[in-house]
Amino acid sequence: MPQKPLLGLTRDEREAAGRLLNAFFHDYEESVARRPLVPEVDREVLSGLLETPFPDQGIGVEGVFHEIKEKILPNSTTVAHPRFLAYVQGPPNGIAPYAEAIAATINQNCNFWQLSPAASVVERSVIRWLGGLFGYGDEAGGILTGGGSIATLNALTTALHVRRPHFREQGLQTTGPQLVVYTSVEAHRSVDKAAAILGIGLDNVRHIPTDDQYRMRVDLLEETVRADRAAGLDPFCAVATPGTVTSGSIDPIDAVADVCAREDLWLHLDGAYGALFVLSERKRAAFEACHRADSIALDPHKLLFAPLEAGCLLVRDRTRLARAYAFSASYIAADEDPLMVDYMDYGPQLSRSFKALKIWSALQTFGVDTFRAVTDHVLDLAQYLADLVEAAPDLELMASPSLTAVCLRIKGATEADHTAVLAELIEDGTALLGPARLAGRHGIRACVTNYRTTRDDIELIVTRLSDIARAGHGKDIGTPEMAR
């Protein structure tokens, strides 16, 4: 009998693992709506449970599945729960776990094409499809990343290399006016983070005020750029957000692109949350000008329901990406081929996982029309939620929703009240929602990014919020007891 490799499984063990995995998937799917949204965690107990010394003798396949079922799963958040509406996080699509398992099995290193020929082409086909959604042409390119934050960091890096041709050799140590980045007060912190990491400095990030719909004020953008230039600074990049994290507002991309063209700024779009709403016929017009951007960040791990991690950076002229990231090394036997892409030349990583497989597999399995339908489904639910809130006497909308983020308030409630309400909704199993802050006002935010959510779920949430609001009026709302 051939000996099994030290870290391999026997045929029987493989069969057991397959059976157990299948049972796990099945039980999870069947129980997802009944699982606690957030586990009740005693941090000390949890640490004791999972920080045990690793065994010298392994516990085997059955043993490890048992540990996962008994210790990991009950202490995990149920992101796939139909009333998990916090943040911008969707549950993975149905084929995703299988695609992930296959990616782990063949373990392609998506650094240069000879090591991962099919993976390289699959990634390019995903990138081309994504680029095509925004009207990017043959010159465009991009790379899958760990998420939208990394995509924006990579975009700002690319923009820096374009603006400062000697950046690679000299970094930011050269003399030259200080570089300035422009974004809005509603932008995601990943823009600040990128500027801080790159050495641009937070003092050189301008947060332009927004209009009454939380969109960047383009007049103020232009004014600020001109004032900075007149003061001897070097405005070099504007980051507009088609789909702000709090209210889903879509910055006026065309008008921002006009300013960028006039003022010679790189235009980056942080579309981590919103860009993929381009899939909806109803929203397409809002994204029409995206093709004018120099780069776009987006997140297949949000609206394409890919499991974490799957972000993406698209760049209108892919040679610019290579200018920032391509390095040759004697220990890598990569022969350039114009027909193929070496993804190590498009980003900071060398070893890279086969992220494209889960996106490609889902598009193949379900077809693009299903993703369009899911996009419309979540948009409809968000609008339904907004309509119910408007009709509820004790609730009010903080902004009319542009996408699927709905910000609302309980009339007369304080910030502490809203915090207490969020906790109560978790405690009684109604929903996981998040806090909202818009123009200094606080409230509650529900972001419908979940293909399992139904109208019944939305009704249940609004009914419960109304009940809490009614019960609280004149009693708890506004008093310290409510702010448990």
Ligand X SMILES: Cc1ncc(COP(=O)(O)O)c(C=O)c1O
The residue with tokens 């709090």 is: 246
Query: Any contact of residue 402 with ligand X (CB under 6 A)?
Result: no
109 with 341: CB under 8 angstroms?
Answer: no
- Which one-letter amino acid corresponds to residue 166? H
Among 111, 158, 224, 241, binds ligand X (CB under 6 A): 241
Among 90, 142, 148, 443, binds ligand X (CB under 6 A): 148
Outline where 7-116 has alpha helix (H): 11-31, 43-50, 60-67, 96-106
Residue 438 in tokens: 């818009």
The residue with tokens 């993929």 is: 276
Element (H, E) at 122: helix 117-133
Query: Any contact of residue 246 with ligand X (CB under 6 A)?
Result: no
Q: Which is nearer to ligand X, 115 or 312 (CB)?
A: 312
Site string for ligand X, 37-56 (x = CB under 6 A): --------------------
Among 245, 289, 398, 468, binds ligand X (CB under 6 A): 245
Q: Which is nearer to ligand X, 113 or 277 (CB)?
A: 277
Closest of 228, 240, 241, 242 to residue 200, by C-alpha: 228
The site for ligand X, by CB under 6 A, has a size of: 13
Query: Any contact of residue 401 with ligand X (CB under 6 A)?
Result: no
Query: Any contact of residue 142 with ligand X (CB under 6 A)?
Result: no
Site string for ligand X, 268-307 (x = CB under 6 A): --x-xx-------------------------x--------
Query: Any contact of residue 190 with ligand X (CB under 6 A)?
Result: yes
Among 78, 108, 120, 149, binds ligand X (CB under 6 A): 149
Collapsing DSSP states into helix, strand and coil, what is residue 292? helix
CA 425 from chain center: how many Å?
24
Bond prior to 309 in cis (omega within 30° of 0): yes
Residue 429 in tokens: 């199993």
Collapsing DSSP states into helix, strand and coil, what is residue 205? strand
Least CB distance from residue 148 to ligand X, whole Å?
A: 3
Closest of 382, 385, 395 to residue 472, by C-alpha: 395
d(CA 286, CA 282): 9
378 with 248: CB under 8 angstroms?
Answer: no
Among 82, 311, 443, 472, binds ligand X (CB under 6 A): 311
Which span sits near ligand X by CB under 6 A: 145-153, 216-224, 232-240, 431-439? 145-153
Q: Which is nearer to ligand X, 188 or 318 (CB)?
A: 188
Query: Any contact of residue 186 with ligand X (CB under 6 A)?
Result: no
Among 131, 142, 147, 252, binds ligand X (CB under 6 A): 147
CA 473 from chain center: how many Å?
37
Least CB distance from residue 123 to ligand X, whole Å?
A: 18
Residue ranges in contact with ligand X by CB under 6 A: 88, 147-149, 188, 190, 241, 245, 270, 272-273, 299, 311
